[in-house]
Amino acid sequence: MCPRQERDSSDEDLEMSDTDEADDQRYDPASVEQKWQQVWADLDPFRAADDSPREKRYALTMFPYPSGDLHMGHAEVFALHDVAARYWWLRGYEVLNPMGFDSFGLNAENAAIRDNEHPATFTYANIAISTESCKKFGTSFDWSRTLNTSDPEYYRWTQWLFLKFRERGLAYRKESPVNWCPVDQTVLANEQVIDGHCERCGAEVTKRELTQWYFKITEYAQELLDNLDVLAPTWPDRVINAQRNWIGRSEGAHVTFEVVDGEPLTVYTTRPDTLFGATFMVVAADAHLAAQLVTDEQRPAYDAYLEEVRKASDIERLSTERPKTGVFLGRYAVNPVNGEQIPIWAADYVLPDYGTGAIMAVPAQDQRDWEFAQKFDLPIVRTVQPPADWEGEAYVGPGPAVNSANDEISLDGMEVDEAKTAIIGWLEQQRAGTGAVNFRLRDWLLSRQRYWGAPIPIVHCAKCGEVPVPEDQLPVLLPELRGADLTPRGVSPLAAAEDWVNVDCPSCGGPAKRDSDTMDTFVDSSWYFLRYCSPHETDRAFDTDLVNAWGPCDVYIGGVEHAVLHLLYARFFTMVLNDMGLVGFREPFSAQLNQGTVINEGAKMSKSKGNGVRLGEQLAAFGVDAVRLTLVFAGPPEDDIDWADMSPTGSVRFLQRAWRLSGDVTSPVGADASGGDVELRRATAHAVHEAGELVEGFRFNVMIARVMELVNATRKAIDSGCGPADPAVREAAEAVAIMLSLVAPYTAEEMWSRLGHEPTVARTSWPSVDPDLLVESSVTAVVQVQGKVKARLEVSPDIAASELEALALAEPAVARAIEGREVRRVIVREPSLVNVVV
RNA sequence: GCCGGGUUGGUGGAAUGGCAGACACUGCGCACUCAAAAUGCGUUGCCCUCACGGGCGUGUGGGUUCGACUCCCACACCCGGCACCA
């Protein structure tokens, strides 16, 4: 009979009623949660001290948009994030772990229009609810540093940063065709257009010619790309890859073609080696260049074509299946290598805002040009020799150059790379071209024609032009508008607020108008992690010394949907702020982790599918700790979690099992474990050691498995081993409580208290490990024959190779397996393996 | 089309050159119970065998190695990024 059963039955016999006995074997999450929330509120254990002598760590989670209460997705990120943050506290770091809200944006604005309210009403109500839920969820955020991007104290500095960027020439206005969402009635950045649809509302995006504000992110394209190599080891592959593809660097050349009776035309090409095969030119139909080049004779045809192009949606235009269209502009360019006059066409397969908006067409080596040449009967000259069995059209593979010589230079016979170098050299010599690099990345369009955002702090004066609002007049506060005032009309609602928009020019004092656009909310979120370091600063955006003390963020956890948007913008901001001397580093996030999505029954949760899982219901049913544990134990953090495959009841069971250990310990607080049961002490030491390494590698699910193993080992020790009084049992139970506090703070706190300690377990220390206990007294050696396991031996870890070999060969199973065969070789990897080759 | 990642039991997942399936979930069996719940114990990759034991097995096909889930080559499928970007 095991000791535990004895104890339980005697307790019951003596004094306990049925309910008391039940209380002793399980705890009620709801009442425990309430109790500890109060204790934590009083102790405030996670307030980050700027002046702490401890080494600093910065744990950051992408701050949420306050669209309502928290959902399963938030729960997952917070649970994962909390493991790292709490671990660092236990390892003796001073941890900055702030939380705030990305509280400008269209959701609140649309809700305000619907309910005839002010967006702030909706926003701040949701912030209050979410904050409360966050606290109940047991997160270790430092709420003394919270911020909302819609607070004037915050957006004042968003505006200030805009002005600083403008001073440096990094914020500018230009007129160009922009992405327009007809439903949200606002322009969109390229990053917000997904397959021709609005990222937010799904409407088909159209083009409009508008004057808009841009950030010159392209100036940093090369560094944004280069630094990805440095970040690659600590950032997820898919984010690195997505950013590389988005930046889209290519190498080639600019080549200038003289134009008969016109200004010279420069094109960008990645294949300058094929220049001898350029048989015509194509200019983007909707580029100003095309309108300049077209001859009077061809103008009617061009105008008609342009009309057609403008009507086509982006969706149509993006299709590669679409037949080529175009119109001859009536003008000829001169190919610099052979002096041939080649026609200049306009077409919509050339984009106005990439490269120079014009190309040299080499149909023999480019499929698009091939199709165009076929359709309009233009000549095709091969300049790369395709393989003998080539049956395709344009040939883009490797091969020797042909038909590529003039009096001064011959590329014939050269392979592609060699030919590129040679022709660029020649072009540079002739001053007809130069090697060039191009990026797919475009400048960041930041103006939005909506209300609920930070107003752009510029005044437009007929006399003085663009005038920045003087810094001492910041913030430019939003006018009080609500309900129907906010209805989208194609211009910003701010433009209609007469009292607000009409101002005296700060420069000349004459009548002027405020810029009525607001900033993209991605501007707000590009610097919030810096503000957290000194959130109450009133005379500057942030304290540079504190930013440098805390930053860069040691880990940034969030959704992969921000792989190119927010993460690229925040990197750009940091580089600019570093150039301004305001930040001491160039990359804001040293390590990054993307959590997966919580789905249900194989599909994304949605109202229409009716497969939504409500966080509140799960928490009520299983308790906060069990839900957190389930989310963290489900698998690697970056994998999706199908809630239907999970077992929160299994988590409840485990937590109760762990908690029960704390009630079984009978040795006093502070009992010296050194004389305790060695086997259990080894198990504890291993679990603690491995759990630490696993947390550092973000392998939280495996860390929990190690804690489960320790709970199982401790249970066994109590019931059928050394018994509950052995100090090793206390040591193990305390280690379980501490490690469990990373995931299940309430259960851990209960355990810690029942083990006789004062709160809080979250601010005690990670258990120390005696290295001697990590050394095994014996190991299991595996004996293989032909790589197949035939026997296992318990041997000393420092066994000699010869001894191990002799023991292995003496095994009956081994002898049987090699019987009648010649032993050719014996591989010995003492102390764990012997492989006999026959 | 180009770039990146992946594919392991009934399920989620462990193992990154040395015992495949840790830890869980589910299922099955047992104990406790009048019964159920809860809890505990055992068992749970597939096939052959009463059993002892043996064979097979990490998407597919090859290769390297004494030894491969792990490294290399090719292919299939799934997921993600880019895409008329010259």
- A133-191: pLDDT as tens digits: 999 999 999 999 999 999 999 999 999 999 999 999 999 999 877 788 888 888 877 76
A651, closest nucleotide (Cα–C1'): B24
Return the nearest residue to B15, CA–C1': A702
Q: What is the pLDDT of residue A797?
A: 81
The interface predicted TM-score (ipTM) is 0.95
For residue A109, the surrounding DSSP H or E stretch is helix A106-115
A73/B6 CA-to-C1' distance in Å = 23
Q: Which nucleotide's C1' is closest to A242 (Cα)? A: B81
pLDDT of A814: 82
Residues A364, A675: Cα–Cα separation, whole Å: 83
Other C-beta atoms lying within 10 Å of the C-beta of residue A338: 16
pLDDT of A336: 96
Q: What is the pLDDT of residue A740?
A: 97
Q: Give the per-residue pLDDT at A191.
A: 66
Tokens standing for A570? 């925040």
Question: A193 versus A751: which is more confidently predicted?
Answer: A751
CA of A655 to C1' of B32 (A): 22
Residue A19: the pLDDT is 37
Distance A772 CA to B60 C1' (A): 47
Q: Is the pLDDT of residue A6 over 90?
A: no
> Is the pLDDT score of A315 beyond 70?
no
Rounded distance in angstroms from the CA atom of residue A647 to the C1' atom of nucleotide B70: 30
Q: Per residue in A398-430, pLDDT tens?
A: 899 999 999 999 999 999 999 999 999 999 999
For residue A314, what pLDDT band results from cuts at 50, 70 and 90?
A: low
pLDDT for res A318: 63
Residue A24: pLDDT band by 50, 70, 90 thresholds? low
Q: Which residue has the higher pLDDT, A213 or A194?
A: A213
Q: Which nucleotide is nearest to A271 (CA to C1')?
A: B86
- CA of A778 and C1' of B67: distance in angstroms? 23
Round to a whole number and report the distance in Å from the CA of A134 to the C1' of B3: 39
How many Å from the N-terminal Cα to the C-terminal Cα in chain A?
A: 51
Beta strands in A411-509 (DSSP E): 433-439, 444-445, 447-448, 458-461, 465-468, 502-504
CA atom of A96 to C1′ atom of B43, Å: 48
Which residue's structure tokens are 């606002």? Answer: A186
Structure confidence by residue, pLDDT tens digits, A46-68: 999 999 999 999 999 999 999 88
| C1'-nearest nucleotide to the CA of A317 | B84
pLDDT, tens digit, 9 for 90 and up, residues A447-460:
988 899 999 999 99
Q: Can you tell me the mean pLDDT for A504-522? A: 95
Residue with tokens 């193993």: A709
The residue behind tokens 């010279």 is A264
Residue A118 and residue A451 in contact, taking contact as beta carbons nearer than 8 Å: no
- Supply the pLDDT for residue A610: 81
What per-residue confidence (pLDDT) applies to A573? 98
What's residue A617's pLDDT? 93
Nucleotide nearest to A240 (CA to C1'): B4
Through-space separation of residue A1 CA and nucleotide B28 C1' in angstroms: 26
Does the structure show a pLDDT above 60 at A737?
yes
Contact present, A488 and A198 (Cβ < 8 Å) = no
Instruction: Tell me what pLDDT residue A23 has.
Output: 47
Q: Please report, rounded to whole angstroms, the spatial distance between the CA atom of protein residue A356 and the C1' atom of nucleotide B78.
A: 39
Q: What pLDDT is stored for residue A145 in this prediction? A: 97
- Which sign does the torsion angle of CA A478, A481, A483, A486 carry? negative
**Pair A414, A422: CB distance under 8 Å:** yes
| pLDDT 10s digits, A98-124 | 999 999 998 898 889 889 999 999 999
Percentage of chain A exceeding pLDDT 70: 96
Is it the case that residue A512 has pLDDT exceeding 90?
yes
d(CA A590, CA A556): 8
How far is the C-alpha of A399 from the C-alpha of A664, rounded, in Å?
Answer: 78
How far apart CA A529 and CA A526 sit, in angstroms, is 8
Nearest to A745 by CA among A593, A611, A629: A629
Instruction: Judge whether residue A256 has pLDDT over 70.
Output: yes
Residue whose C-alpha is closest to residue A446's, from A190, A195, A196, A193: A190
pLDDT surpasses 60 at A17 = no
pLDDT at res. A335 = 96
Give yes or no for residue A286 having a pLDDT over 50.
yes
CA of A318 to C1' of B83 (A): 9
pLDDT at A16 over 50: no
User: If you measure CA to C1', which residue is closest to nucleotide B4?
Assistant: A241
- Residue pointed to by tokens 């032909």: A786
Helix ranges restricted to H, A613-699:
615-622, 624-633, 648-664, 678-696
- Rounded to whole angstroms, the distance from the CA of residue A311 to the C1' of nucleotide B70 is 55
Instruction: Identify the band that residue A483 occupies on the pLDDT scale cut at 50, 70 and 90.
Output: confident
What is the pLDDT confidence band of residue A200, given thresholds at 50, 70 and 90? confident
Distance CA A759 to C1' B61 in A: 61
Q: Band of the pLDDT at A215, cuts 50, 70, 90?
A: very high
The answer, yes or no, to whether residue A10 has pLDDT greater than 60, is no
Strand B nucleotides in reach of protein CB atoms, 7 A cut-off: 2-5, 11-15, 18-20, 22-26, 38-41, 54-55, 66-68, 80-86
Determine which helix (DSSP H) or strand (DSSP E) holds A810, and give its type and residue range: helix A801-810
Predicted confidence band of residue A20 (pLDDT cuts 50, 70, 90): very low
Query: Which nucleotide across the nucleic acid strands is nearest to A360, CA versus C1'?
Result: B86
Rounded Cα distance, A368 and A388, in Å: 23
Residue A8 scores a pLDDT above 70: no
Give the global pTM. 0.93
Q: Give tens-digit pLDDT for A524-547.
A: 999 999 999 999 999 999 999 999
Shortest-distance nucleotide from A358 CA to C1': B86
Task: Report the length, in residues, of chain A.
Answer: 838
Q: What is the pLDDT of chain A when averaged over all its residues?
A: 91
Nucleotide nearest to A4 (CA to C1'): B40
Q: Long-range contacts for A264-268 (Cβ within 8 Å, ≥24 apart)?
A: A265/A289, A265/A293, A265/A333, A265/A344, A265/A358, A266/A356, A266/A358, A267/A355, A267/A356, A267/A358, A267/A359, A267/A360, A268/A354, A268/A355, A268/A356, A268/A359, A268/A436, A268/A438
| Nucleotide nearest the Cα atom of A837 (by C1') | B66
Taking the CA of residue A595 and the C1' sugar atom of nucleotide B76, their distance in angstroms comes to 29
By C1' distance from the Cα of A832, the closest nucleotide is B18
Q: Within a 10 A sphere around the Cβ of A423, how many other Cβ atoms?
A: 25
Nucleotide with minimal C1' distance from the CA of A2 is B40
Higher pLDDT, A29 or A161: A161
- Between CA A602 and C1' B7 the distance (Å) reads 17
Per CA to C1' distance, which residue is closest to B13?
Answer: A635
Separation of alpha carbons A565 and A203, rounded Å: 19
Residue A324 CB coordination number (10 Å): 18
